[in-house]
Amino acid sequence: MSIRILHFSDIHISSGNTASVRDRVEAMLGVCAKESRIDAVFFTGDATYSGQAGQFELFHRRVVEPILEAFALQSQRFYIVPGNHDVDRSRIRKLTEPGIRNAVSTADAADELWRNEEDRKLPFDRLNAYDEFVQRNNLQHAASLLQVGSETIGVCCLNSAWTSSGDQDRNKLVITRAQVDEQYSQISSAPVRVALWHHPLSWLADDDGVRVRERMSARFDMYCMGHLHEDEGIRLSSPHGECYSFQAPALLAAKAQTGFLIYEISSVTRQLAVTSYRWDDRRGTYHASPEFAPPSGTWKGTLPNRSGLDDKALTLRTRASQDLRTEYQSRLLRHLPPSTSIASRDIEHRFIEPHLLAPSGKRERTLQLQDILKDNKSHIIAGKPHSGKTTLLDYIGAKLSVSGCVAIRLDFSEIADKAERRGLVTLISERLNKPKNQADKMLGGSVALLIDNALVESNRPEWGIINGWRNNCPSLRVIAVGPPIMLPTEEEIPGTWVRSTLNPLPVTRVRDELTRFGRSPGEAVGQKLEASLNTLIEAELPRWPWVILILAELTNRSLAGDITNLVGLLKTYVDLRLGVFEIASGERPKIRARLLRTLSAKMMDGRKNVLTFIEALDLINTEIRACAIEAEPRELLKELIASQLLIMDGDELSFAFFVLQEFFYAEHLRETMWSDVEQLDGDSLIRLGGALVFLAEMVDQPKLVERCLALTKEHLPEGARPFRIDDLADLTHLMPENSPEEAVSRAKAGALSVDEMGVVLSEAESARAGTRLHRVRHGKEGLEALGQSIYQFVSAVGVLRSSMWLSKDSKLSATKAAVDLSTMLLGEFIRDEQLTSAIMDAVAPGWKSSKKELSGIISATMLLIIGHLVANTGGARHLASTLRETFMAEQDEIRRILLLIWYSELGGEGTHSLVDKLLEETSSNTVVGMLEFWLTIRYINSVSFSSVNVVTLESMLRRTVQERMRRTSSNSAVEIKILADQQMQQAKKLKLQHSSTTE
């Protein structure tokens, strides 16, 4: 025998979505009908859209009644808790709300407010319609025992929404330990105990979240939540015990995972089985989700045994450290993936360790976290905003508590009036809720103070207070974290202190760790990495840019193959930060996203990565006026910084990660490119290259970029020029209404559907007619073909800037297409006699006597220019291996030079060996001359470039000069060496006369 429970959440019913709600409820009941039975229902909040009485009636009629009827259940078997959407915001009083916030500003104060029934009526007024609804319909909304046959479960319905007031609820809500204790007393005799509420613990105020989690671990077997619109199951462990945590997805929500959970619980055998069902849009039904629990969608486990928990024999210090360890671990769970498997523990251990640097003479040394944990010194750790200082303190606290140390975390503001030993005793007594005599005894043992938000310049009185504590209590350690400018310098602190700096994890460390994944079979690597990335993003770990570094390195090295959902991962992360999942926030997340798109466009168009605070404020002001948004610009900018998508350093704003800037620029293009393509010119195409692949994903045509490249390989009828984007405009007569058979044939040849062909043709026509590049060229005979070549060239090469997101085959294809276009462009330049004549006239009016020589110089110059244009426009280090592979397979020597220039400029290793290979294999003196021309220019204007140092560069040039002389003269080897030395001396003189900016 067991108890079977249906758990669903987040419907947000209103008069506008009743039909959709009805359909989803019927589909859910259809799945449940196939089960043996359902004994009870858990609903974890957000029944309505805005907490109106009429919406609750709709919820009862459309949801509650059909479910109770389908399972033949009494109304008391329908367990319900309120969510933030069930709050009637019109009943929130602006004058009293600050007082309520102040009344729950600490966990103790919140407990006090909850215990005072008269005082808590004021915040409860916002849930008046909810309260009347559950009482009128006799739904179970408090603690009760659920009995089915010989099985018994105690269920507590907790309220996490009683202080919810709007968009900024995160980290401000409270459940209170008092509420938990109050309901627990009514079900404490139950063999299995379950708690329900709406918000995840990460939405509670830190101190309240810690207390609630500690109560769950000590007294409950599982707790169930909603709000995030995602399904999740975690088994949590702490010194107080173990319990399960389950998150139900939304039953109905736009652009979110939707579904429900079914639990099968036995209080006799203590066995648990949980199955997640997700909505399948294609089939229009629910199915068991293997993503929740591979391979069947059902997770089976054993409920924890609590009989062995006995704290009576623990010493005072161990009890204190145990309590504190739970607190720190609870805090960490907000930022770390759950330790449910070896793989996730590996992720935690490898990526939580911060990168700390400490001064060592004139240099810096890496400070290991173990150094802080094991030495007896006190530490000052400096870090910029959002670098992870608070999370680091939690981690240190958890580790110290394991060793029996009483690690007490404080905010800097708490120490101001606590001078001398008696002040410290008072502080510890208040913080641990212990009598002062017990707090005083603790100071005889191992105690560490972990101070957050430290502002302890050497001239502040707090610095004297802290050092006074250390003098009075020799065993006391202090670990303080804060911003660099507000902490003492290395010279200002005593020798018993160590000052270090918290830095982002180096890319090299990420690369080293990724090699570990590479030892697994290919498919397993992809599954493991992708699961880890999703977990890290949803756990909001990226206060350090680890996840983004991993993402970039993953796709760069193709360890997991073609990660097609990269944009989806970033979208999830961005939506979390913008508050998209807070449906009650209305239009605010959309406004924030719009402003980020505007800021990214300003940065990309200006070819810079930062904006000043004033520049950003002006842009936001302009956008607010243009869109008639009622908002304060400074408040919006603060919200963007608080989202951690933007960071502020001094007076400068930038995106937290470079990839976010390109991501929002891609969204900007999605909003503007297809409707306003006339604004795009050649320069814009180069700049948007970094976002093209994102763009293709955004418009739901993931293969569009690759298909457009494929089109360049197709040809018009015999005798026509190779395909270019502009030439597509000439195919308008092949549109279906004119010649359907040929249009379909052409579309298939280009791997495009007829509809897609129509879009491309239409946009190509607009681009060809509207670009500034075209308008400048219009009417100048002889340059039209050249302009078309440039237009296509920058389009294709621009793709390669972000080709790290493409598969290896796509990279090779795109590289070859770019080289095709480069050589075609080079040919257009060299064949354009008007252009050649104009250059010769400008360089040497008497050019006729040396036409051949000057023509060769122009050809070499054009080759150099185009080679550099390719390298800079399609510049990305990750292409190096692709370029080397293409170079080795290439037969055409001009193309090989282009590939060589490209490869070397991107920092490819072993450029000198490729130069030697080209010299050995070519039979063309012209190729040797062009190679010499390129190396001479690089030598004169550069100390070094990319991976080639100046010594290697000089060696390559000398080798090329000697090869050219050997081929074009009859001099002996000794004479060639002397002549080469003379030419190198001349090159060195030129090098001294030029700076690296005159190229």
633 cis-preceded (ω within 30 degrees of 0): no
Beta strands 363-367 and 298-302, pairing class: unpaired
For 50-54, 228-232, 629-633, 770-774, which range has the lowest pLDDT when averaged over its residues? Answer: 770-774
Whether 126 and 204 map to the same domain: the answer is yes
Task: Specify whether the CB–CB gap between 229 and 581 falls below 8 A.
Answer: yes
Q: Among residues 484, 415, 406, 477, which one has the least CA distance to residue 442?
A: 406
Mean pLDDT across 267-294? 87
Q: How far apart are CA 645 and CA 647, in angstroms?
A: 7
Asked if the structure places residue 387 within a domain, the reply is yes
Asked if the structure places residue 32 within a domain, the reply is yes
Does residue 807 surpass a pLDDT of 60? Answer: no
- How many Cβ atoms sit within 10 Å of the Cβ of residue 195? 28
Asked if the structure places residue 583 within a domain, the reply is no
- Tens of pLDDT, residue by residue over 405-449, are 888 888 887 887 777 888 888 888 888 878 888 888 888 888 899
Asked if the structure places residue 466 within a domain, the reply is yes
pLDDT given for residue 62 in this prediction: 93
Q: Among residues 834, 818, 721, 729, which one has the least CA distance to residue 774?
A: 729
Beta strands 40-43 and 3-8, pairing class: parallel
Q: How far apart are CA 837 and CA 35, in angstroms?
A: 85
Domain membership of residue 910 as a residue range = 876-999
Average pLDDT, the chain: 72
Long-range Cβ contact pairs of 25-28 (< 8 A, separation 24 or more): 25/62, 25/63, 25/66, 25/67, 25/251, 26/66, 27/279, 27/284, 27/285, 27/286, 28/251, 28/260, 28/277, 28/286
Burial of 846 (0-12, 13-18, 19+ CB in 10 A): exposed
pLDDT given for residue 304 in this prediction: 80
Confidence of residue 364 (pLDDT cuts 50, 70, 90): low
Task: Specify whether the CB–CB gap between 277 and 286 falls below 8 A.
Answer: yes
Mean pLDDT across 210-224? 91
pLDDT given for residue 323 in this prediction: 65
Task: Name which residue leads in pLDDT, 909 or 4.
Answer: 4
Mean pLDDT across 463-478? 87
Last residue of a domain, one of 269, 302, 335: 302
Whether 376 and 295 map to the same domain: the answer is no
Asked if the structure places residue 832 within a domain, the reply is no
pLDDT given for residue 369 in this prediction: 74
- Tens of pLDDT, residue by residue over 832-883, are 555 555 555 554 555 454 555 555 665 666 666 666 556 555 555 557 777 8
Task: Name which residue leads in pLDDT, 189 or 847.
Answer: 189
Whether 225 and 181 map to the same domain: the answer is yes
**One-letter identity of residue 961:** V
- Tens of pLDDT, residue by residue over 102-135, are 888 888 889 889 988 888 888 999 999 999 999 9
Residue linked to tokens 């039979």: 923
Whether 70 and 201 map to the same domain: the answer is yes
Task: Name which residue leads in pLDDT, 551 or 764.
Answer: 551
Q: How far apart are CA 363 and CA 928, in angstroms?
A: 46
pLDDT given for residue 942 in this prediction: 63
The CATH number linked to 118 is 3.60.21.10
Does residue 298 surpass a pLDDT of 70? Answer: yes
Beta strands 78-80 and 40-43, pairing class: parallel
Whether 225 and 368 map to the same domain: the answer is no
Asked if the structure places residue 171 within a domain, the reply is yes
Last residue of a domain, one of 253, 278, 302: 302
pLDDT given for residue 577 in this prediction: 73
Last residue of a domain, one of 242, 272, 302: 302
Query: How many structural domains does the chain have?
Result: 3
Predicted model pTM? 0.38
Whether 274 and 361 map to the same domain: the answer is no
Task: Name which residue leads in pLDDT, 544 or 903.
Answer: 903
